[in-house]
Amino acid sequence: MSTAARADSGGLFGWLDRSHTVAKPGFSRWMVPPAALCVHLCIGQVYAFSVFNLPMTKLIGITESAPDDWKLTELGWIFSIAIVCLGLAAAFTGTWLDRVGPRRAMFTAALLFGGGFLVSALGVHLHQLWLIYLGYGVLGGCGLGLGYISPVKTLITWFPDRPGMATGMAIMGFGGGAMIASPLSVLLMDYFSSPTDVGVAGTFVTMGLIYLVFMMIGAIIVRVPPHGWLPEGYTPPAQPKKMVTANHVHVDEALKTPQFYLLWGVLCLNVTAGIGVLGQASAMSQEMFPGKITAAAAAGFVGLLSLFNMIGRFFWASTSDYIGRRNTYMIFFALGMALYAAVPWTGHTGSVVLFVLFYCVIMTMYGGGFATIPAYLRDVFGVRYVGAIHGRLLTAWSTAGVLGPVLVNYIREYQINHGVPKADAYSVTMYIMAGLLLVGFLLNWLMTPVDDKHYMTEEELKASMEN
């Protein structure tokens, strides 16, 4: 029995099969981005999870932490476990996703992510932290990884003329998800709170159900194009651009190419620089501009960065369709270097406006890095296994998620312990970040097309389609 037959299970869940998701005549490809956004707007919640941390330190004491209440350090692990599971799930489920199609993958992601919230609600109710590690951390994290990569290949196939814009739209949703989740969580906790309850369990149940339904809608409306489909008026270029292949590289073969590791480094360094300062943005703005930026204004600054992170995902990924992926990353690294190096200068001049402006531009490139990478992979390795290869590459994100904050925090502590004033403690960090971007620039500069020997033959491609 072929793997395709095994993937098409029929029965109660037959509607999830790839064969049931092939678009019928009259279907508009513009239905696919909202389907992808249904998933990404939900899983983007992960960036807003910290809103639950403080209330969860008062589950017993309610107004203040009781001795048996959980500590912030213990709660910090929930996010970390989720991010690690995100990377692992994206890396290990890519090939399965490629076989079963986007609907089954999105359905599974919805069950895992929504279910993770419900298990966590039980953990809060029973005051069992391990249930939250398991629920939001492991189950939710796996749902995150699977949900993140599930619509990517489908979007690229529907939009061969604008792959950057298409994936940028979905990945923009991941950036926007936190902007919805943060105020929604606060509203729900207010609603469910009482003199004996901080309202976290009720909020988890409600959000879990909302996300489950929303992601299921995405799974229902997603479609894959019929084999060989092309948009009206689009003819694949007879002479492909130098960095855009018309061939396909198998996911296992991609791991044997230097291009995969160059792109891994490119993504890792771009994310390390961005994520490092994003986590410290609030404290950094207040310490660099004491008396000028208050705690409330700093919260506004963080919100503004999220907004530009989201805008950058769509803007840069769409722009890359015109200027090329390699050039787009060249801009990220060159402009990023200049801006990171200039941030300490804004502190010395006391210019809040320039500080905010520089960071907003930096954040567009941080988001743009995530959103442009699927189209970059498609250009280099072809469409056939782009979803699976993207999944493997996301381990760079998990690595950067640890590296970035550790670098920023460690360097800041070291500076302060050696007598550097708080206002200047970030200068060295910024120069180091600029140095990381220089390395990223060089890695991206080294990018060349994949050697012909790695491309799949016609027979291999045909066999992979049948499977």
Distance separating alpha carbons of residues 319 and 87, to the nearest angstrom: 27
Nearer to another protein, 26 or 67 (CB): 26
- The DSSP letter of residue 17 is S
Q: What is the DSSP letter of 452?
A: G
Half-sphere exposure of 403 (CA within 13 A, CB side): 18
DSSP-derived 3-state class of residue 249: strand
Please report the DSSP string for 39-77 in residue order.
Answer: HHHHHGGGGGGGGGHHHHTTTTTTTS--TTSPPHHHHHH
Which alpha helices (H) appear in 65-194, and where do they start and end? Answer: 72-100, 102-126, 129-132, 141-149, 152-158, 163-192
Q: What is the DSSP letter of 1?
A: -
Q: What's the one-letter identity of residue 316?
A: W
Q: Which is nearer to another protein, 45 or 272 (CB)?
A: 45
Q: Under DSSP, is residue 411 helix (H, G, I), strand (E, B) or coil?
A: helix
Closer by beta carbon to another protein, 25 or else 419:
25
Would you call 210 helix, strand, or coil by DSSP? helix
CA-closest candidate to residue 87, choices 406, 442, 403: 403
> Shortest distance, CB of residue 227 to another protein, whole angstroms?
8
Nearer to another protein (CB atom), residue 31 or residue 406: 31
Query: Half-sphere exposure of residue 316, counting CA atoms within 13 Å on the CB side?
Result: 31
Per-position b or e across 57-81, b if 16+ CB within 10 A of its CB: bbbeebeebeeebbeeeebeebbeb
Nearer to another protein, 361 or 416 (CB): 361
Minimal distance in Å, beta carbon 27 to another protein?
7
The alpha carbon of residue 449 and the mean position of all alpha carbons in its chain are separated, in whole angstroms, by: 26
Shortest approach of another protein to residue 151 CB, angstroms? 12
Q: Least CB distance from residue 252 to another protein, whole Å?
A: 30
**Could you tell me the smallest distance in angstroms from the CB atom of residue 28 to another protein?**
5
Minimum CB separation of residue 397 from another protein in Å reads 22
- Min dist CB 34 to another protein, Å, is 4
Nearer to another protein among residue 64 and residue 232 (C-beta)? 232
Q: How far is the CB of 15 from another protein (least distance, A)?
A: 17
In whole angstroms, give the CA distance from residue 361 to residue 356: 9
Which CB, 34 or 405, lies closer to another protein?
Answer: 34
Give 34 or 265: the residue with its C-beta nearer to another protein: 34
Q: Which residue has the tokens 């912030």?
A: 72
Q: How far is the CB of 230 from another protein (least distance, A)?
A: 5
User: For another protein, which is the closer residue by CB, 300 or 435?
Assistant: 300
CA 107 to chain centre: 19
Instruction: List residues near another protein by CB under 8 A.
Output: 25-31, 34-35, 37-38, 41, 173, 176, 179-180, 182-183, 217, 221, 225-233, 293-294, 296-297, 299-301, 303-304, 306-307, 352, 356
